Structure 1
Amino acid sequence: MALTPYEYALVRDSLAEARARMEPGDTRFYERLFALRPDYRKLFRDDIAGQGMKFMSTLSVVVDALTSEEVFRHDLRELAEGHAAIGITAAHYAPMGDALIDTFKEVLGPDFTTEMEDAWRSAYAHIAARMMEAGHS
């Protein structure tokens, strides 16, 4: 595991809190991503609210994959391959990570601590690297 147990707990708990504060289909992540990179809009389906629902579910799987090789092998490998199939490359991951952090900052406000941000950045870097590898293998 790339994270310490404490970092994993920060990621897991902050995700649970963010989910509690967000409505199903929340589009803030995509709004932030498209503000950072308008050219990414073409990579996603038209129904961004539906995509937002899928995004929150996917984040839960990502968090589970941080401690379970089986979850990674089965769930995230499929996600990685799907991303690669629609043209997601290594260059796409950094802006997506920035949009994710910005979304947590907005949703959790001052409850999103520097420690949480650092833990999320580590978690995201780890998962993104593994997804890039899996998507292009």
Structure 2
Amino acid sequence: MSLNPRLVKESFSLVEPVAAKATAYFYGRLFAENPHLRSMFPPAMNVQRDRLFSALTRIVWSLDSPDGMAAYLGQLGRDHRKYGVVAEHYTAVGNALLATIRRFAADVWNDEIEAAWVAAYSAAANLMIGSAESDSGCPPRGGWPRSSTTSCATATSRSSRCGRRSGCRTRRASTSPCRPRAGRACGGRSPSPTRRARTT
């Protein structure tokens, strides 16, 4: 599905005034569904939540500027690789992000807006994954999503492995706490819709 920046921005504008609640909900959902990811993040999440929303905001409002967004997301993907983020993590983050936007933009939510978010997150996640794997020497393949107008949970995540080619090393999720740099998200932020979403 093609990107629809207008629908993403309009629905996101309803989330911005309640950013603190939205990010708390996002991480609560992410960790409830994927408890093994909690160790990748710092014990205190206040700064992390701010970084997530900052990254997600930049991505959303840059959807009309694909060149600039691609450069930002490429760097974000390479940075996340250093924290142990692998392709499978993007599916978990995408599911939590979609659930968060759906909840806090409930007044306007419909299938068209959901499809727009799935397409936007898919594009962002694939850019990040591709940059991370290129940087690590693993050729990108596949993609985060198979666009769905019903749920990100139906998306097929990519394998973090790049085959048995010599010289290719697969990076697995780190069990050490994530230490994000200023202005950058960790793990699965958006993600936003980049941590990451930071996903971001």
Residue of structure 2 equivalent to 1:116: 113
Q: What amino acid is aligned across from residue 125 of structure 1 in structure 2? A: S
Flag the structure with higher helix content.
1
Identify which of 133, 136, 156 aligns with 1:136: 133
Q: Assess if the C-alpha contact under 8 Å between 1:90 and 1:132 holds in 2.
A: yes
The CA RMSD measured in Å over matched residues stands at 1.8
TM-score for the superposition, normalised by structure 2: 0.61
Rounded to whole Å, the distance in 2 between the matches of 1:25 and 1:82 is 24
Identify which of 7, 16, 39 aligns with 2:36: 39
Identify which of 49, 54, 72 aligns with 2:51: 54
The answer on 1:70 being equivalent to 2:68 is yes
TM-aligned CA distance change 1:53 to 1:24, over 3 Å: farther
Query: Across the two proteins, how many residue pairs are aligned to each other?
Result: 132
Rounded to whole Å, the distance in 2 between the matches of 1:134 and 1:103 is 26
Residue of structure 1 equivalent to 2:85: 88
Q: What amino acid is aligned across from residue 119 of structure 1 in structure 2? A: A
Question: How many angstroms does 1:41 deviate by?
Answer: 0.6
Q: What amino acid is aligned across from residue 99 of structure 2 in structure 1? A: D
Task: Return the index of the structure with the highest Cα Rg.
Answer: 2
Rounded to whole Å, the distance in 1 between the matches of 2:62 and 2:19 is 22
Deviations 1:91-124 (A, max 9, x none): 1111110000111122122422221111000110
Q: Which runs of 5+ in 2 are unaligned?
A: 135-200
Q: Assess if the C-alpha contact under 8 Å between 1:25 and 1:51 holds in 2.
A: no
Residue of structure 1 equivalent to 2:17: 20
Q: What amino acid is aligned across from residue 113 of structure 1 in structure 2? A: N
TM-aligned CA distance change 1:95 to 1:26, over 3 Å: closer
* Greater relative contact order, per chain length (Cα 8 Å cut-off, separation 6+): 1
Deviations 1:7-52 (A, max 9, x none): 2101111112111233378411110100110001111122212211
TM-score for the superposition, normalised by structure 1: 0.86
TM-aligned CA distance change 1:27 to 1:133, over 3 Å: same
Q: Which runs of 5+ in 1 are unaligned?
A: none
